[in-house]
Amino acid sequence: MSNSKENMRATKVEAIAPEISALAQKMIAKRQETGWRRAIVDSWLITGRNLIRLKRNPIIIVAIAIFPIVFLAGFWIVGQKLMATQGVNYIQYLVPIINLQALFFAGLGSALMFAQDIESGMMDRCRAMPIARIATIAGLVMAYMVRALLSTLILLLVAFAIFGFRFQGSVIDALGYLLLIVIFTATCITGYSVLAIKLRRPDLVNAVAIIPYTPLLLLSNGFSPTENFPTWLQPIIRYQPVSVTSDALRSLVAGGSNSLPLFGFSLLWLVGLLVVFGVWAKNAYKQLV
């Protein structure tokens, strides 16, 4: 639908009393919902609202900081000695997957908030208002992006200060790391939004959302090198998106010379998934209500 001036004129304007018609046109012109500036402002407002909600959730500090750190410490204590016998410096190996896991859980949390918004009628209220169509979704993605990046920052600082994790790559490697993390988060949130739209009920989302965790995160080479898996599983482990992404992140951390192809492969996977999920989510969203 275009947002031309023509469209802002009522189809049956001649039949409506002139003063109402004038008032209506004024209201429409003032609140016109289309245009990219509107989209940015509206998305930003909804982001702010979501961030307040995140901030006031008593569980948030556990989710953002404690959970990833406990996982890092746990796997490190359990795996360090054993991995050393295989010649793996486990803390360098482990940090990328723990980071991805934190981002993945941010996606999971976003599905929960989304489902709550659908159930509470908030989504309907926003959809019946003259605000940019993209704002509700963008506000969700951006708020959880903030959460994910905050979580990453805390994790990396703790890994650096307590566990001796070192980023050995260049500034460009660091930017590559950041870029992959942002896209990975966006992909998770978009994928999970499909789940939220389809299921709608927060309790159901809460129960089901953990399911993709096992095949995607645990059945990856993030925690243990591919060679340690049964031979028939190895091709799947090696080429699934989380493995590819953690390969790329590890390579960027190490500052290796072969980072670029790994980075490209990971980017291809993530952007591809993002597009698929994005289209799927958009179609599902249209059928909401």
Partner 1 sequence: MLVAPIVEVKNLTKRFGNTVVLRGINLTVERGTVLGVLGPNGAGKTTAINCLTTLLTPDGGEATIAGYNVVEQPEAVRSLIGLTGQFAAVDEVLTARENLILFSRLLRLSGGAAKRRATELLTQFDLLEAADRQVKTFSGGMRRRLDLAASIVVSPLVLFLDEPTTGLDPRSRQQLWAVVKDLKAQGITIILTTQYLEEADALADQIVVIDQGQVIAKGTVDELKDKVGGKFCELRLANLEDYEKVKDLLSDMGEVIVGEMGKEGPIAIAAPDGANTLTEVVLRLESANIPLADISLRRPSLDDVFFSLTGHTT
Partner 2 sequence: MMTQKLAQPELDPDTIAAMVAARREGGLQRTLHDIVVVAWRNMLIDFRNPASLVVSALFSTSLLFVFTASFAQVVTPGEGFSGYAQFLLPFASVQGLMFNTVDIGVFFYNDLENGMDIRLRAMPIARLSAIGGRLLSSGARLLIQVATIVLAGHLIGFRFQGGLLGAIGFFLLPVVFTLSLALIGFYIAVGAKSAETVSAVLNPWILPFTFLSVGYVPIEGFPDWAQPIVTRNPVSILSEAMRSLASGEPALQNVIIILLCSLALCLLFGTLTVRAYQRRI
Residue ranges binding partner 2 (CB under 8 A): 57-59, 62, 66-67, 70-71, 73-75, 77-83, 86, 203-204, 207-208, 210-211, 214-215, 218-219, 223-224, 227-230, 233
Residue 79 contacts which entry, partner 2, partner 1, none (Cβ below 5-8 A, type-dependent): partner 2
- For position 149 contacting partner 1 by CB under 8 A, the verdict is no
| Range list of H helices, the chain | 18-31, 36-55, 60-61, 67-85, 90-120, 122-127, 135-163, 171-199, 202-208, 213, 234-239, 241-254, 259-286
Alpha carbons 209 and 54: distance in angstroms, whole number: 19
Alpha carbons 159 and 153: distance in angstroms, whole number: 10
- For position 289 contacting partner 1 by CB under 8 A, the verdict is yes
Of residues 152-211, those binding partner 1 (CB under 8 A): none
Cα dihedral: 77, 82, 87, 92 (round 10) = -20
Question: Which residue type, as a one-letter code, is found at position 126?
Answer: C
Alpha carbons 63 and 125: distance in angstroms, whole number: 29
Of residues 127-146, those binding partner 1 (CB under 8 A): 127-131, 135
**Residue 198: which residues within 8 A CB-CB, separation 6 or more?**
284
Q: How many residues lie near partner 1 (CB under 8 A)?
A: 45
- For position 53 contacting partner 1 by CB under 8 A, the verdict is yes
Nearest to partner 1 of 28, 112 (CB atom): 28
Residue 81 contacts which entry, partner 2, partner 1, none (Cβ below 5-8 A, type-dependent): partner 2
- For position 238 contacting partner 1 by CB under 8 A, the verdict is no
Task: Compute CA distances 143 → 49, 70, 76, 148, 233, whole Å.
Answer: 9, 24, 30, 9, 37
Q: Which two tokens stand for residue 200?
A: 């709608």
Chosen residue from 5, 36, 37, 56 binding partner 1 by CB under 8 A: 56
Shortest separation between residue 60's beta carbon and partner 2, angstroms? 9
Residue whose tokens read 């799947």: 236
Chosen residue from 4, 5, 17, 230 binding partner 1 by CB under 8 A: 17
Alpha carbons 249 and 259: distance in angstroms, whole number: 8
Nearest to partner 2 of 221, 259 (CB atom): 221
- For position 4 contacting partner 1 by CB under 8 A, the verdict is no
- For position 31 contacting partner 1 by CB under 8 A, the verdict is yes
Q: Which two tokens stand for residue 93?
A: 């190996």
**Chain residues that interact with partner 1, rule: CB under 8 A:** 1, 3, 7-8, 10-13, 15-17, 20-21, 23-24, 27-28, 30-34, 42, 45-46, 48-49, 52-53, 56-57, 119-122, 124-131, 135, 289
